Every structure is written in structure tokens, then in C-alpha cells.
A and B are shown apart, each in its own frame.
Chain A
Amino acid sequence: MDDILRILDKEQGVVDINKISRMLGLSEEEVSEKIKSLEADHIITGYKTIVNWDKTDREVVRALIDLRVTPQRGEGFDKVAERIYKYPQVRALYLMSGAYDLSVVIEGKTMKEVALFVAQKLAPMESVVSTATHFVLKKYKEEGIIFEDDEKDTRQVITL
């Protein structure tokens, strides 16, 4: 199981059953079964392509928003978190230790769109005490992938 997850994590969303089966010395059926059971158990929760939008014509603005919130009796932070993560604009949401409570990752087409989302949706929530919005200016690395990796294989063609 560990090996399958390790390979899928490296392959970044491309599931080639035949290749994985040969890498692990298992049959294709065995690999399929294992992947299906990992999916059923929500251990594998999805497959994702990492896109460097800066290289396309599409404008994507990303912001990290620090939220301080008042936890609710009996619910802790989960209830307010749920109200936030249901928005499709929210790409990621984390409960944090330290100076603030929730870290919200938001994507929109323009800075204005993102700012308005914070102002109109997040800030007015009852339990939200304060917000601080940080816009991402440049992405260097995402999900373990360096966007401009220039390290090439410069080995001699044959060495003993």
C-alpha cells in the first residue's frame, strides 16, 4: 500500500496501472484492487494536475488569508470551517497553530474578485474576528514541483 501511494504521489496524478504493476512486481489486477480500496477508504481523495498558470493566458490570482475566529461551543472550529470550505473559491483550508486560527487559500480571476470575496463572504461571518489577506506574487514551487527546474542529467554517457 505504502509503495502504491509513494509512486502515485511522485507520478502526480497519472495512474498507469501497467507501469505500477511492473514497478512493484504485482499483477495489474492486484494493483487495481489496491487502488480501488484506497479510493474507497478516502485515503486517495483525488488526482490532480499541477498547472503553472503563469505560463498560460489565463489570469489566476491566489491569496492566503489569515483568519482569527471565535470557536463555537461544542463545535470548535469545524462548523465555521465548513461554512468556509464549501465555497468553490476556497482552494484549501487549514486550522493553524499560532497567531491566527484558519488559513484560507483563495483563487480568483482578479485581485478585486478575491478582495471582494474576503470582504463580502469571510469578514462578515459571525465568528470571524479579523482577516489579513496576502496575495501570492510568484509561485516557485507547488506540491513538491519546482516550476523552473533547470537541473539536467549531465552524466558521462558511459562510466564503469
Chain B
Amino acid sequence: MNYENLINPTVDQLAPSGIRKFFDVVATMKDAISLGVGEPDFVTPWAIREAGIYSLESGKTYYTANSGLMELREEIVNYNMRKYNVTYDPKSQVLISVGGSEAIDAMIRAVVCPGDEVIIPEPCFVCYKPLTIMAGGVPVTLETKEENEFRITPDELRAKITDKTKLLILPFPNNPTGAVMSRKDLEAIAEVLKDTNILVLSDEIYGELRYGDEKHTPFSAIEGMYDRTVVVNGFSKTYAMTGWRLGYALGPERIIKLMTKIHQFGIMSSPTTSQYAAIEALRSCDDDVEDMRCEYNYRRRVIVDGFRNMGLSCFEPLGAFYVFPCIKRTGMTSDEFCNRLLQEEKVAVVPGTAFGECGEGFIRCSYAYSVESIEEALRRIERFVKRHID
């Protein structure tokens, strides 16, 4: 077969994950310490696992409704009411998806037509751009900057809006930078959007992992934004349930309806076992979440401190479980830094460029590791930096 004439060139030409090669090298180095993982180190709390096991024992092995178990949708609605005071109708405004990613895909496909522009703040998680391109849309990059603490400013946003703009992605708290948007920051964004027809996909998968005084505010809770916003959230980060593949979308009935169509034909329904486990998570695991959040917060302080003490600038991240220190002082590119750090000190971190070109000069380090591992990694990175700085 000559596949070259048969395959879809749009998919073929999607930027391959630029650091595939780097990943392959890391995978062969058994004794390397990694700060490269984008998932919690905690195992799913036992009560949740037990609920999953019990559902299997009880023979709950069938499909659920396309949009997910009603009981789970109701719990999600309750949760969002009690945490954020935002209301949704469980019958028509909730879709249970296979991880947050599927909801992001469905949202983009439900609204983006060929030629529509989608504003994507970078550095960001890797999926928005390819999903936009596959939907025929045109990704428009909005570069966030270290001096703005990697937040979106109203002026930067205004400059990117054209009459073709269909959708704004709001990925906060942010992977890879750990940046957050405060309520005030979000209100300023709302001010720019209020007289437009632009929709918002607010990816709030790290919303529960906030540090500092201010709690997370969903974009849909900002005045005037409810009707234009689809909030994507999930269980992976909050409840350490990455492998269960379960997320959800909350939004206007008209859009959720289309997303549910896409989900129905592409997926059918999300994993039943995971859905039963997730009900337990929402009902009884607030304390586990708070425990994990405290642990992340301790580690966050240790790692930010560590980078600053070795003379690198590292803005203070108030969300997720990543730090994004600047390595420009070493005179190396992000790729070079990561490759040489791996070779010389056997520490794996991710080059900032994996999350967009403007990530050049930065590295992403995850602190979803024990304090001991973080400290050992910091010792090695410091040795490396000292050798190569000035």
C-alpha cells in the first residue's frame, strides 16, 4: 500500500510532539530522576478505589446514559454549587467525558467551523492547537509572559481578536507555568469579551490545586460569562484519578447538546466503573483533596526556593503542580539544557518549548514527587547550573 496518498495530510502534518526523541532517551535511562510527570504521585484515595471495586462486584458493567450516570451528574452539579455557587441543570448542562481531554475535543469540534479563529494562550498544555487544526480552525497564539506572571492581560487579548474569532481557550491554573488568574484578572477578561460573540472554553482541571489566599473562581461565575462559557473539569488531578479517564463539561444547554452528540458517536459513554468511583469521590473525599493540596503546597515552596537559591528566576506559581523556572542565564536553549542535564546529572525535566515556542528559555518541573526526590533533583540541577552559569 502506498499510504502517502491515503492518509489525511492534516493529521499527518500535525506538529509531532517535538520532544518525542528526548522522551525516548529518558525512557532508556533507568537511574534518572524525573521531574517530568504531569500527574499526581498519590494513588487514588482508597474510598474511591473501593467504590469502583464494589461497582464491579455488583455487576455494574453496562453502558451508562450517553451523557453519564444521572447520579454522577447530580453530584457534579451539587459540587459546583457548594464550592463555587454556580448552578447547572444535570439533565441538559453536564456531559461526563473520557478525561478532560475528550471534553476539550468535543467542545472545539462542536463550535469551530473551517476558518474560525481560536485564541490559545501559550505556553499551554499540548492539545488545544492540534484539536483546533483537526476541526479546521485556525489557532491564534497569545503569548503569556513571565513579567505578567504568565497571565493573559486584557490588552493582549484585545489585540488578538478579529471578526473571525470564535473561541478563547482559558487554561488556568496553567500547565506548564502554574499560573493562575484571580477573580479580578478574570473580570478584566470578561470586560473585553462582553460585547463580542466569542465563546470561552475554560479548562479548569487544576482548579482545586490553588495555593495562597484566593480560591479558584470558575470563569462561568464571572458576571455575564455564564452563557458563553463551557467549563471543563475532571477527576484526574483533583482526586489523583488519571488512569480512570474521567472528566466533565458544564455549559450552555445548546452547546452541551452538540458535545453530547460527538461523545455519543465517538465514545458512547464514559467508563462505568470510573463513574461509580467518581460519585464516591465527590461525596466523601474533600479531606483527601485538602490533604494532597497541603502536600503539594509544601513541595511547591521547597522547589521554588531551590531554583531561586541556585540563581535562576522562578516566578511563584499559585496553581497546579508545576514550576517554570527561567534557564536563560545558562546560555542554553531549553532543549539543550534538558538534554545535557539528563546526560550529565541524570535528571529529566521538560523543555518549555514543548508547550509552545514562547516556552523557550524555560523548563517545566513537576513537583508531584516526594520532598526527598525533589531535594535530590534540586541538588543535581544546582550542580549542573553552577557548572554552566557565567
Contacts and interface: CB of A to CB of B under 8 A. Distances in A.
Given A22-B301, A22-B305, A23-B302, A158 B34 contact: yes
Interface residues of A, number: 16
Given A24-B298, A160-B350, A160-B354, A19 B371 contact: yes
A127 to B, nearest CB: 40
Contact of B302 (A3, A22, A160): A22
A41 interface: no
B39 interface: yes
A58 interface: no
Contacts of A156: 37
Interface in B162-184: 175-176
Interface string A4-31: 0011000000000001001111000000
Nearest to A153: B41
B36 A159 contact: yes
A153 B22 CA distance: 21
A160 B174 CA distance: 12
B371 A158 contact: no
- Interface size grouping (class) on chain B: 20 to 34
Contact of A157 (B37, B126, B175, B354): B37
A23 B17 contact: no
A155 B41 contact: yes
B79 interface: no
Contacts of B23: 157-158
A158 B350 contact: yes
B237 to A, nearest CB: 12
Interface string A121-160: 0000000000000000000000000000001010111111
B38 interface: yes
A160 B17 contact: yes
Nearest to B17: A160
B97 to A, nearest CB: 19
Interface string B348-369: 1010001100000000000000
Q: A7, A24, A156, A160 — which one has the most chain B CB atoms within 10 A of its CB?
A: A160
B173 to A, nearest CB: 16
A72 B22 CA distance: 74
B294 interface: yes
B36 A7 contact: no
Nearest to B354: A160
A35 to B, nearest CB: 16
B228 interface: no
Interface of A: 3, 6-7, 19, 22-25, 151, 153, 155-160
20 contacts: A3-B294, A22-B302, A23-B298, A23-B302, A25-B301, A153-B41, A155-B39, A157-B26, A157-B34, A157-B36, A157-B348, A158-B26, A158-B37, A158-B348, A158-B350, A159-B36, A159-B38, A160-B17, A160-B125, A160-B176
